[in-house]
Structure 1
Amino acid sequence: MNGLTGKVIGVAADRSANALSSLIQKKGGTPAVFSIQGKQILNEQISQDNIRDFISKSFDWAIFTTGIGAQTLEDTSVKSEIYRDFIEKLNNTQVAIRGKKTLNWCQKNGVKASMLSDDGTMEHLVKTFSEEQIDLNYQRVFLQAYSQNDAKLKEKLEKAGCHVYLSQPYFYEEPNLQVLENLKEAIKTKSLDAVVFTSKTQVKNLVTNHHDNRETIQSFNNHVLAVAVGKVTANELKESGILYVLQPDRPKMGPMVAALERYYQKANSYNN
């Protein structure tokens, strides 16, 4: 018997919902999709302005927080026929990055990263600057971010003495409120055994950006298992007040579903 047999697993993802649902079904589970990511909106004009400013102005560091953000800027540079200038400028600038997808983007474009967050979090990246004893005072930084949360990094860098240029080439719209309420209701009524999250944006939409979510958080702490694809998402869940979060050793969907199956297999062995 597969480890997820008889389990109903909520899926908060959007683009990866079908792939996740398939993985859950292969393990015997029943997926219930509640896509609360919110639609991704690309701002082409802002992206174009960001690229031209980066090329024309002087920067000591370029910090990329997401692979999507880096790809968006690349796509804009190609469309504007300034891709070579963009990559050349990056190769003459110290680059710091967070996350595997951002690292893959750098490698694809021949961009060498001077600094990498080992655990994929912005907190670790900021800590690394300190550990490497890099003096950021008066440093000019091009910071690609995509949300108010990551924009807080701008404040931290400015407190360290940096002059920060904030690039936000995309953002996420609010999710469908009915879908959001349906997920909350399913959690509160124990209709779901677990909910899998693939981004911190989904967590924010469910429990961080809305008032009075005590009942939702209490439900996670009592009977619904919160599952995160990686450390960034797990940290967001924990910071919201969820006491236990299951996450895989490798931040990918397959290992996440495998970890979920092992969790229930272990629980069943204790009960038998």
Structure 2
Amino acid sequence: MGKGLNGRRIAIGASRKTDEMSTLIKKQGGVPVVRSLQGTVFLAEKEVGPDLQAFVETGADWVIFTTGIGTETLVNLADKLGIGERYLQAIRGAKAASRGYKTIAALKKLGITPVAADEDGTTKGLIDSLQSHDFSGKRVMVQLHGENAPSLLQFLEEKGAAVFPLLPYRHVAPDRETVALLCSEVINREVDAVCFTTAVQVRSLFHFAKENGYAEKIVQSFQDSVLAAAVGKVTAEALREEGVERLLAPGLERMGAMIVELARFYETEEEIKTQ
């Protein structure tokens, strides 16, 4: 294996599998620094229960599912609340839309075929598939996963829908000192790249940066110096939504592939310099 990351400081935004990522970075000659941008995730059973009950009572014209695990969790929660069959009737009686292949697989198990679905696993792809549909005056349930999908919710509201979000999982914010440290390192170009493995990590970084008035500096650093690396399309989409256009995302959505692509990027950069 080459040493494409020779001496470069690579920040890791993940909270899981950081040892594996660090090892891969070291094998490429890089210096890994773990800066977790993702807090814990918990099942918000008490919080979502009343909302789930309310949804079953009123139903919806449309149901939109954004993750496979969230889709399955709502079914399980409805069963625990003793409203499983009524919940299934409510979602089967509505038009369904889906984001991601795992979500489509989860809906298939429930006997539901979406009338709209993304082609690339992104929220933008899902919105594109919904453009031709009429949502004026329609009641739309949206299953979210830990965080809001602002672009999707805004799209539906602008189309005249009454949006009813259900969040079976919630995210606890990451350690503020850690996020502040990474913001400082990015702004001062003290890291060469930041590896993002989920969209939540992107949101955490920029939420903190906006709160403290230096989001523009973060974007500028990513645009001209520090490289933002995204593990896949959904994470890359989150970066673009925050204004980051200069980014790297592997074709194969895996952490190992991201590190290899990162090493290749810098190898190519060095070759260009020596020509």
Normalized against structure 2, the TM-score is what?
Answer: 0.82
The 5-angstrom pairing of residues 19-98 of structure 1 reads 19-80=20-81, 82-83=83-84, 85-87=86-88, 89-98=90-99
In 2, the alpha carbon distance for the partners of 1:105 and 1:88 equals: 16
The 5-angstrom pairing of residues 123-272 of structure 1 reads 123-130=124-131, 133-146=132-145, 149-151=148-150, 153-208=152-207, 209-210=210-211, 211-272=213-274
Q: Is the 8 A contact 2:4 2:266 kept in 1?
A: yes
In 1, the alpha carbon distance for the partners of 2:217 and 2:237 equals: 20
In 2, the alpha carbon distance for the partners of 1:162 and 1:188 equals: 40
When residues 74 and 29 of structure 1 are mapped into structure 2, their CA distance, relative to the original with a 3 A threshold, is: farther
**What residue ranges of structure 2 are gaps of 5+ in the alignment?**
none
Alpha-carbon distance, 1:96 to partner: 0.8
In 1, the alpha carbon distance for the partners of 2:11 and 2:104 equals: 30
When residues 59 and 201 of structure 1 are mapped into structure 2, their CA distance, relative to the original with a 3 A threshold, is: same
**What residue ranges of structure 1 are gaps of 5+ in the alignment?**
none
In 1, the alpha carbon distance for the partners of 2:104 and 2:31 equals: 34
Alpha-carbon distance, 1:11 to partner: 0.6
Aligned residue identity for 2:232: G
Q: Is the 8 A contact 1:66 1:99 kept in 2?
A: yes
In 2, the alpha carbon distance for the partners of 1:99 and 1:26 equals: 33
In 1, the alpha carbon distance for the partners of 2:108 and 2:27 equals: 33
Aligned residue identity for 1:237: L
Q: Is the 8 A contact 2:99 2:123 kept in 1?
A: yes
| Secondary structure of the corresponding residue to residue 201 of structure 2 | helix
Task: Single out whichever of 108-117 and 169-178 deviates more from structure 2.
Answer: 108-117
When residues 195 and 235 of structure 1 are mapped into structure 2, their CA distance, relative to the original with a 3 A threshold, is: same
In 1, the alpha carbon distance for the partners of 2:216 and 2:126 equals: 32
In 1, the alpha carbon distance for the partners of 2:118 and 2:19 equals: 30
In 2, the alpha carbon distance for the partners of 1:23 and 1:259 equals: 12
In 1, the alpha carbon distance for the partners of 2:172 and 2:84 equals: 28
In 2, the alpha carbon distance for the partners of 1:68 and 1:24 equals: 30
- Report sequence identity in percent: 33
Aligned residue identity for 2:11: G
Alpha-carbon distance, 1:78 to partner: 4.3
In 2, the alpha carbon distance for the partners of 1:104 and 1:31 equals: 36
Aligned residue identity for 2:217: E
Query: CA offsets, 1:201-220, max 9 Å, x none?
Result: 22222234432234333332
Task: Single out whichever of 4-13 and 68-77 deviates more from structure 2.
Answer: 68-77
**In structure 1, what is the equivalent of residue 122 of structure 2?**
121
When residues 149 and 91 of structure 1 are mapped into structure 2, their CA distance, relative to the original with a 3 A threshold, is: closer
Q: Is the 8 A contact 2:41 2:146 kept in 1?
A: no
In 1, the alpha carbon distance for the partners of 2:120 and 2:195 equals: 20
Query: CA offsets, 1:115-153, max 9 Å, x none?
Result: 2111223233222222xx322233332112357752553
Alpha-carbon distance, 1:62 to partner: 0.9
Q: Is the 8 A contact 1:47 1:72 kept in 2?
A: no
Alpha-carbon RMSD: 2.9
Alpha-carbon distance, 1:198 to partner: 1.8
| Secondary structure of the corresponding residue to residue 194 of structure 2 | strand
| Total equivalences in the alignment | 270
In 2, the alpha carbon distance for the partners of 1:114 and 1:203 equals: 30
